[in-house]
Structure 1
Amino acid sequence: MKRARKKENEMTRTIRILTIFLAPMVALILGISAPGVWADDDDAELEFDEVEFNIEFNSTDNDLGVRGFVDGEPYKKIEIEDPNEKTIAKLKAKKGMKLQGFAELFFESGEPTLEDVSAPEFLARFPEGWYEFEGKTIEGDEIEGETYFSHVIPCGPEIDAVIDDSTVEISWEAPTTVVDPDETGYGPEEVCVDPEELDQELEIVAYEVILEGDERELTFKFDADVEELVIPLSLLEPGTEYKYEVIAIEDSGNQTITEAEFMTPQL
């Protein structure tokens, strides 16, 4: 009887040892053969290299629009969802383009004036919050990205151009006011308010200056602490009217344009 009990105890101990040894082996085999059991589907998706979606306000023409940019693996399909999970845009490649795919995509919307579409109407079309970009690569893999869409819209910078014998000096002052999202008027004196009244923070991070003549266009980019540009007249055509734009870029990516013109002297 004692001998039988001893044998039984030895068998029980052997089974326990086998259980301890086999448990991690089973887990290891499952981990190798079925990664989907452990991995989150979202983690397996590719991400776009860059996505942008923001507002452009032209303070001279008094109009508002949106603009976007998508960069990443060649993709054949893309959708954009607003913070309410409503699809606001969809693009699908076909035939040869479906095989080639998009790599970089830039787009701009129409730009109605504030007289035609007020700020509240415009902003109601594009709620503030996170916008999802979801697509499919040419290999059939899912790819995604997201960006925050802000309602902080700077009013236009004050600009000026002074010409002397050899140069033109373009200068600007940083915006200190923002577009009131609840103002239904369309004049600058009505639309622009102190950001503190709206509990907003305005931070200009960069400027861009664009110069357009009959045959030449020049573009300059500056950090936020630069407020002037001096151009030798030798770089410009004499006796020519130039349109210039100063673009103030806010930390959110929203940007505001102020435009004006100057005439270069005849030789």
Structure 2
Amino acid sequence: MFARATVVSALVLVAGGLAGRAEAQPAATAAFPVATVHLERNTTDSDYEVVFEVTGAQDGLAELTVLGPDRRTVVAFKAPDSSTLGIRGFRFESPEPSDIKAVKSAYPEGIYEFSGRTSKGAKFAGKSTLSHRVAATPTLVKPATPTATLSVKDLTLAWSPVEGVAAYSVGIKHEESNVNLTAMLPASSTSFAVPDGFLTPGKKYKLAIGAVTREGNITFVETTFTTEK
């Protein structure tokens, strides 16, 4: 036993002496800060879409690939020139068919694998599980109709609770001025107080309330309202 151990030690020393001539080992692969996939359902438009979101580190990504559970490549990005510094953040959205069967076939449930490389050679990887489970649709309480006229001050929007959700998302947008507000609220919430000063008198706004599952899937209902002049 002792003799064998001595030989091993000698081999380690020799290998150490030759390290300068050995090929460089590949750099360790880091985890993406953000690498997710989720399903969105818009019950107002009766459509579905799958969304991929990826955020790298400080350096931009020169390459990004996403493989589905069936090993198909669903995302493949490559920067044409390293001088562009790559891209740090991505949001990929599928088409929005009304046929959920088509979405499920194109993007099956399971683990999606993300891999990327920066222009400096750093490697990143990540995994995210896609589920097809979606929540029920929130029912809007205020505004109750798309023709509602609401105050610009002390305005509280409201909706009925949805069983089994993890959170709610609220989005308010005025498309002409490209002004929007987005908030994520806890599952216990059934209302949202719009900050005074955000709304402008006499304008038409688009409102989206989303019920978010624990898997990150979102069921949206959309409407519009107009502010008092």
- TM tier relative to shorter chain: 0.7 to 0.9
Q: Which amino acid aligns with 1:119?
A: I
Tell me which residue corresponds to 1:86: 72
Q: Which amino acid aligns with 2:132?
A: H
Residue 64 (str. 1) matches residue 64 (str. 2): no
Structure with the higher fraction of residues in helix conformation = 1
**Closer, same or farther: CA 93–235 of 1 in aligned 2, 3 Å:** closer
Post-superposition, which runs of at least 4 consecutive aligned residues in structure 1 deviate over 6 A? none
Measure how far apart 1:224 and its partner are.
Answer: 1.4
Residue 105 (str. 1) matches residue 90 (str. 2): yes
Q: Which amino acid aligns with 2:120?
A: E
Tell me which residue corresponds to 2:160: 173
Residue 206 (str. 1) matches residue 167 (str. 2): yes
SS of equivalent residue, structure 2 residue 114: strand
Measure how far apart 1:29 and its partner are.
Answer: 5.2
Residue 249 of structure 1 contacts residue 255 of structure 1 at CA under 8 Å; is this kept in 2?
A: yes
Choose 25-34 or 66-75, whichever is displaced more: 25-34
Give the one of 21, 41, 44 matched to 2:28. 44
Give the one of 200, 206, 230 matched to 2:193. 230
TM score, norm. by length of structure 1:
0.70
Instruction: Give the aligned length.
Output: 215
Tell me which residue corresponds to 1:221: 184
Cα separation, 1, equivalents of 2:195 and 2:125: 46
Residue 151 of structure 2 contacts residue 227 of structure 2 at CA under 8 Å; is this kept in 1?
A: no
Residue 61 of structure 2 contacts residue 88 of structure 2 at CA under 8 Å; is this kept in 1?
A: yes
**Closer, same or farther: CA 224–17 of 1 in aligned 2, 3 Å:** closer
Tell me which residue corresponds to 2:218: 255
The unaligned stretches of length 5 or more in structure 1 are 1-15, 177-202
Cα separation, 1, equivalents of 2:47 and 2:102: 13
Cα separation, 2, equivalents of 1:65 and 1:165: 33
Measure how far apart 1:122 and its partner are.
Answer: 1.5
TM score, norm. by length of structure 2:
0.80
Give the one of 1, 21, 25 matched to 2:6. 21
Tell me which residue corresponds to 1:95: 81
Measure how far apart 1:234 and its partner are.
Answer: 5.3
Measure how far apart 1:53 and its partner are.
Answer: 0.9
Identical positions, percent: 26
Cα separation, 1, equivalents of 2:2 and 2:100: 73
Cα separation, 1, equivalents of 2:193 and 2:86: 43
The unaligned stretches of length 5 or more in structure 2 are 144-149
Tell me which residue corresponds to 1:153: 134
Tell me which residue corresponds to 1:124: 105
Tell me which residue corresponds to 2:146: none
Larger CA Rg, structure 1 vs 2 = 1
Q: Which amino acid aligns with 2:39?
A: I
SS of equivalent residue, structure 2 residue 155: strand
| 1:110-142 Cα shifts (integer Å, max 9, x gaps) | 212x2xxx2122111111000111222213344
Cα separation, 1, equivalents of 2:224 and 2:160: 17
SS of equivalent residue, structure 1 residue 102: coil
